[in-house]
Amino acid sequence: MRTGSALLAATIAVTWTVVYLVTQVFVSPPLGVGTTVAAGAVASVLLVLGYPSALRGPRAATTLRRGREGRGVERSRRRIVAGGNRMPLRSGLTADAARRTAELLRPLLGGDAVVITDRELNLAFVGPGVDHHTAGGPVRAAIVRSAIAKGRTVVSRRASSMGCDDPDCPLRSAVVVPLVVGTRVVGTIGVFRTHDEPAPRVQVEDMASILSLHLELAEADRERKLASDARLDALRAQINPHFLFNVLNTIASKSRTDPDEARQLLLRLSDFFRYAVRQEGQLAEFAQEYFFVRTYLSLEQARFGDRLRVRYDIDPQVLTAHVPVLVIQPLVENAVKHGLADKVAGGTVTLKARVDPLTRTTSIRVTDDGVGMTADVLDTLGAGGGADRGGEGASGEAGARGGIGLQNISERLTTLFGERFTLDIQSTAGAGTVVEVRVPLR
């Protein structure tokens, strides 16, 4: 039995003795037995409730202490998560991002100094020892090089194991954790102290995990941008050379019959290729894309004459909205090349654009009344007669209908907007085709 419990039992026994003496011995005549029992029971209950014994007091104290410790750990983790959400490394492992991150982490992780490195250099160092652990200099501490080589956490509890080649280094202990992207160690984060007790390992590892996630996201962003740029370049390269040859032939023909129109066509052709080649970024104002499409259609009208009719239905609010570059023109080109070119009587291409303020989307619809497509061709394009999230491998007639271009456009839209876009294709053989793109309003 614990000391506190034994003491409580002895106290209760003494209390009952006192109650008995008072009610049965010292009082004349003696009180009833019921009175004695009731008095003893009340006294016992009061002792149990009020006495800080091992049955109540110490356990309550332990529970309270554990609760406080749990709340302290939880607060610490919340601080780490909150700090991680603000880390500049979301933009990548650069010297400037590393410096700002180290400055934020130093008070958060309870270290005297914080270092962030890549595999070769100290990208940032904040705190004591900055005179020789210089930002931009090579990694000097052996403990950091060890963490990079082993790919796991390394802890040093004394200066001799730090491996710093400066005898006057004030740093005495450290926790160094690798920063990992996928399976690759891309750098480290180290928390140093000027005494022999290192920083809490779990906190440093938690923060390293958050930073590694940020670096993975940054790398994914870079890869998505490179892929999107490559698709945009592919669209530029896909501008049909036959279109150029046909326009040049038309200009050559006009130069004999109508020199002024031939000169205007040359200027428009120059504007067309200048925009296609020099346009930077993935988004542009609709007004710019609209001018580009009108330039293209004016060149095609010079070739097809009255066989190609164009109708524009543009909401003025759309003009300032930002849309993906080189998306509208390929859809219009498909309508001309595959919808109307093979139709003897020609037809009409309609470009309609609207802004929906309720759903905050921009919709662009290209319609032609040309030869249309069969259900099999739509299935090959991945349309299924309705919504399309991008054409799949195009071949045969489906390829002729621009399946590769649609796939390219769909992949670019996915990169830019994720699932927040639609690319719908509806077509009836002999009646025409409707392609509608709906993207978030920017």
- Residue 307 sits in a domain whose CATH number is 3.30.565.10
Please give the residue range of the domain that contains residue 213.
91-218
Q: Is residue 63 part of a domain?
A: no
Q: Is residue 419 part of a domain?
A: yes
Q: What CATH number should be reported for the domain holding residue 214?
A: 3.30.450.40
Residue 432 backbone zone (phi > 0: left; psi -120 to 50: alpha; other: beta): left
Rounded to whole angstroms, the Cα distance separating 362 from 215 reads 33
Tell me what pLDDT residue 391 has. 36
Tell me what pLDDT residue 312 has. 96
Together in a domain, 189 and 132: yes
Rounded to whole angstroms, the Cα distance separating 305 from 284 reads 30
Q: Is residue 16 part of a domain?
A: yes
Low-confidence ranges of the chain (pLDDT < 50): 53-66, 68-70, 72-73, 76-77, 79-84, 383-400
Together in a domain, 134 and 276: no
Together in a domain, 311 and 369: yes
Q: Is residue 80 part of a domain?
A: no
Together in a domain, 265 and 406: yes
Together in a domain, 264 and 204: no
The two structure tokens encoding residue 215: 């670096």
Task: Write down which residue in 218, 248, 274 finishes a domain.
Answer: 218
Write b or e for each residue in 10-43: b if 16 or more Cβ atoms lie within 10 A of its Cβ, otherwise e: ebbeebbeebbeebeeeeeeeeeeeebeebbeeb
Tell me what pLDDT residue 386 has. 37
Q: Is residue 99 part of a domain?
A: yes
Together in a domain, 377 and 337: yes
Tell me what pLDDT residue 148 has. 92
Rounded to whole angstroms, the Cα distance separating 391 from 368 reads 19
Rounded to whole angstroms, the Cα distance separating 96 from 88 reads 9
Task: Please write the tens of the pLDDT for every residue from 108-163.
Answer: 888 899 999 999 898 999 999 888 888 888 887 888 999 999 999 999 888 877 77
Q: How far is CA 264 from the centre of its chain?
A: 47
Task: Write down which residue in 218, 248, 270 finishes a domain.
Answer: 218
Residue 32, classed as helix, strand or coil, is coil
Together in a domain, 289 and 327: yes
Comparing C-alpha atoms, which of 141, 120, 117 is closest to residue 129? 141
Together in a domain, 383 and 272: yes
Together in a domain, 292 and 407: yes
Q: Which residue has the tokens 């614990």?
A: 2
Tell me what pLDDT residue 100 has. 87
Together in a domain, 259 and 339: yes
Q: Is residue 167 part of a domain?
A: yes
Q: How many domains does the chain have?
A: 3
Task: Please write the tens of the pLDDT for every residue from 376-432.
Answer: 877 777 543 334 433 333 344 444 455 556 877 887 888 788 889 999 999 988 899
Q: Is residue 209 part of a domain?
A: yes
- pTM: predicted TM-score of the whole model, two decimal places: 0.52
Rounded to whole angstroms, the Cα distance separating 104 from 122 reads 17
Tell me what pLDDT residue 234 has. 62
Q: Is residue 77 part of a domain?
A: no
Task: Write down which residue in 218, 246, 278 finishes a domain.
Answer: 218
Together in a domain, 413 and 321: yes
Together in a domain, 32 and 96: no
